[in-house]
Amino acid sequence: MQNNTRPNCIDKCNRRLFITKSICASLGVTLSSNLVLAMSSHSLYDKKQDKEIFRELDELVDKYFPIFGTCSQTSFYALNKTFDLKAEEFVKSLVSMPGVALRGETCGAVTGSLLAIAMLYEEDMFDNERKRLSREPSTRFCSQFEEKYSSTRCRDVIEQVTGKKYRVNEPEDYNLLAPEGVYDYCPAIIKEAVHIAAEIMLEKST
């Protein structure tokens, strides 16, 4: 299934480009394909537009992390809303994904972001040709996340941001993190993850 919806700011960029082309056509000016591509690329990747997307993502993270209480649900929900993936039904399935069932494994901000990337990149649920269109962007996402936090594992990310090593191997270990204020670091980690994911998803949206 291919999702052709785009963020509102991208739609605005495309409308501006359409208007520009229309005006040029009315004046008898023909734009080369390369110039059209350059104009489109410049508009879509304008830093101001990026900031608008990041600001929307940050606001969604701040609003919904206290509601969901998980990095996985919050990261996916923010990307789902911003990129209009129309996949809210997947949010509840991510409730056990932080640390992959709270065992200190893959960070929920990673799993939620990877799901959003796959939702946008993959074209067909039954990919008989096994094109795996989301594989490269997903690998790239993980590499960039690791550059920031040295790992994609929850326990390692916690150590990276707090400077303290916690025993996070079982679900009950997570109960000890709240009194230490560890969860106060989560929104910033989620924001970093969804920013990385958004940049990659914007490439598909062009």
Can you give the residue ranges of every domain in the chain? 53-205
Q: What SS3 state is found at 91?
A: coil
Please name which of 94, 90, 114, 71 lies closest in space to residue 200, comparing C-alpha atoms.
Answer: 114
* For residue 38, pLDDT beyond 90: no
- pLDDT of 70 reads 97
pLDDT at 30 over 60: no
Tokens 């079982």, residue?
170
From the DSSP assignment, how many helices (H) and strands (E) are in the chain? 9, 0
Would you list the DSSP string of 32-60? PHHHHHHHHHHHHT-HHHHHHHHHHHHHH
Inform me whether the pLDDT recorded for 35 exceeds 50: no
pLDDT of residue 132 exceeding 90: no
Give me the half-sphere count of Cα atoms (radius 13 Å) on the Cβ side of residue 68: 30
Lowest mean per-residue pLDDT among 39-43, 70-74, 140-144: 39-43
Q: At residue 5, does pLDDT exceed 80?
A: no
What confidence category does residue 24 fall into, taking pLDDT thresholds of 50, 70 and 90? Answer: very low
pLDDT at 131: 74
Q: Which residue has the higher pLDDT, 6 or 148?
A: 148
Tell me what pLDDT residue 129 has: 62
- CA-to-CA distance for 161 and 154, rounded, in angstroms? 11
β-strand partners of 106? 153
User: Which of 90-94, 118-122, 193-197, 201-205 is predicted least confidently?
Assistant: 201-205
Q: What is the pLDDT of residues 101-116, one digit of tens each?
A: 999 999 999 999 999 9
Higher pLDDT, 2 or 135: 135
Write down the residue that tokens 């605005």 correspond to.
12
74-87: pLDDT as tens digits: 999 999 999 999 99
Tell the residue number behind the tokens 């999702």, with chain if given.
3
Residues belonging to the chain: 206
- How much of the chain exceeds pLDDT 70, in percent? 72
Instruction: Give, rounded to a whole angstrom, the gap between the first and last alpha carbons of the chain.
Output: 17
What integer pLDDT is reported at residue 75 of this predicted model? 98
Q: How many CA atoms lie within 13 A of 15 on its CB side?
A: 7
| Position 34 confidence tier, pLDDT thresholds 50, 70, 90 | very low
Instruction: Give buried/exposed letters for 26-41 (b at 16+ CB in 10 A, else e).
Output: eeeeeeeeeeeeebee
Distance CA 73, CA 67 (A): 10
Instruction: State the CB neighbour count (10 A cutoff) for residue 134.
Output: 21
Helix (H, G, I), strand (E, B) or coil at 78: helix
